[in-house]
Each structure stands twice: as C-alpha cells, then as structure tokens.
Amino acid sequence: MPEPLFILRHHTDEISVVNFLIGLPKFKKEPILVSGDVGGCVKLWDLETRRPLHSFNPCEAKKGAILNVTNTVSHDYMITQSRSPMSGMIKIWDLNKLGNQSGTEKGTGTVREFDSKCTTFCKCSVMEPCILTEKNDKSKEIGHNLILCCVNEDKSNVDVWDIRSFQKLRAINIAKISEEKRGMIMSIQAYSIVRGDVSADKSQMILWLASESGHVDLYDVTNDKMLASHKFGKF
C-alpha cells in the first residue's frame, strides 16, 4: 500500500464520513474536502494549507454522529445529516454565510433543519434540477425544484422534500406497492432525467431504493409508480 501524501489530524473523534464539495463559487480552491465525525463535528478543509477552513457542530447541544455531508451544485447549499439513538437531524446550510475564518461556528448559515426521525445508517440523497444552457450561455432550470429524499422513522418509507419551499411532496411506502416484504431501506439514490423536447420544461424524478431483503427497486417519483424491481441476496 502506498504511503499517504499527508494526514489531516484536527478531528478529536472517529471520522464517520468524508466527501468532496464541488461547484462552489465561494471557494476559489476546488475541490473542498469535507469530513464529519461521530462526535458531531464537521470540518471543511483547504488541501493546500492542510488546515480547516471551517469547523462547526450541526448537532450543537445534542450529540450525534455525522452520517452524510454533501452539497448542491445548483445552489450554494451544504446538507448535513446526523444520527443518534433518538433522532436523525438534517440541516441545510448556506455556504455563503459560514463566515471567512476557521474555528468553531455554531449554527452559522443554517437555512432549514428538520428531524427525519430516521436512526438507521441510510444516507439522504439530493436531486438537482436539470440545467439547460441556452444559446446566450444563460442557464435555465428544467422541471422540478431542488429535491431531498430521506428515510423516515418507519425505516421502510421515504419522504420527498422540496428544499426551496420546504414542503414534503410525497411519502413513498414501498410495502404498499409490492406484496413482497422489503424490511429496512438500506440505501437510496435520487436523480432526474429529461425525456423528449427540453423546451417542454419537464423532467422525471427517479429514485433507486435498496432494501434489507435484497430488493433493488426503481421508482418513478413524478408519476408515483414502480418502474422495475429485482431481488439480489439479502444485505
């Protein structure tokens, strides 16, 4: 195994998630490395100086492990997901309001937050709008808004949220759609596709779901129907 180029050591708890944030005008240096730990701390790193750009705890007074950290390309948002035995907090942050200095910044830049009540390890998934670049180089969003999908307290249901309006669009219950038992949802992945003429300003929201039973389902969120399903071995 090759030796690492360098090691980042500022976390005091075990690291639970590592990701790269891309497409962020605020940061001239890309990509930005982000890490979260089981103590609830999130750090954004400058890989040139090898020091944190920002360090904060989305869980604040409530301790909880960071399960997921991601960002949206269409908006300067960062999304953190934490879990504890009693809650599954999801927070949406405005990266332009995080401040410019490193160090601990509690709560700065929070746009929205809610408790998904999911205590499993299933990460939420963000569905970006389809972006069309027109002849004048201006960008246009097609179809749906910025969407967040997450498992709820039932552990076998998925809630679909519109991040901009902060409204729950739909609760997907796979157990009611299929006769076969699925158990807990272990993984979800959301994406959007454009069919036909892009000038129609329509897109289709699609969700992949992998369940404890070994089923992988392809679900049409836009039309509220199952498209395909296949059973592999149990997870």
In the sheet with 89-94, reading across from the earlier edge strand, the strands are 65-72, 77-83, 89-94, 110-115
- 187-203: b (≥16 Cβ within 10 Å) or e: ebebebeeeeeeeeeeb
In the predicted structure, residue 135 carries a pLDDT above the cut 60: no
pLDDT at 200 (0 to 100): 46
Residue written as token pair 């959301």: 190
pLDDT at 188 (0 to 100): 95
> Which residues contact residue 8 at a Cβ distance below 8 angstroms, ignoring those fewer than 6 apart?
33, 35, 45, 50
Q: Which two tokens stand for residue 212?
A: 């404890």
CATH 3.90.1310.10 matches 1-115: no
What mean pLDDT is predicted for residues 162-183? Answer: 84
pLDDT at 134 (0 to 100): 54
Single out the residue of 49, 55, 63 nearest to residue 34, CA to CA.
55
For the chain, domain boundaries: 1-115, 120-235
What mean pLDDT is predicted for residues 120-149? Answer: 71
- Asked which of 42-46, 56-60, 75-79, 115-119 is least confident by mean pLDDT, the reply is 56-60
In the sheet with 15-21, reading across from the earlier edge strand, the strands are 15-21, 32-37, 42-46, 51-56
Single out the residue of 149, 129, 151 nearest to residue 72, CA to CA.
129
- Do residues 56 and 41 touch, judged by C-beta distance below 8 A? yes
Higher pLDDT, 41 or 180: 41
- Do residues 173 and 156 touch, judged by C-beta distance below 8 A? yes
In the predicted structure, residue 139 carries a pLDDT above the cut 60: no
Determine the topology of domain 120-235 in CATH: Thrombin, subunit H (2.40.10)
- Do residues 94 and 79 touch, judged by C-beta distance below 8 A? no
Higher pLDDT, 144 or 111: 111
- Do residues 38 and 60 touch, judged by C-beta distance below 8 A? no
> Which residues contact residue 92 at a Cβ distance below 8 angstroms, ignoring those fewer than 6 apart?
77, 78, 79, 110, 111, 112, 113, 148, 163
Cβ atoms within 10 Å, residue 213? 19
Higher pLDDT, 71 or 235: 71
pLDDT band at 28 (very low <50, low <70, confident <90, very high): low
Residue written as token pair 């400058």: 46
What mean pLDDT is predicted for residues 112-116? Answer: 88
Q: Which two tokens stand for residue 56?
A: 């904060």
- 123-135: b (≥16 Cβ within 10 Å) or e: bbbbbbbbeeeee
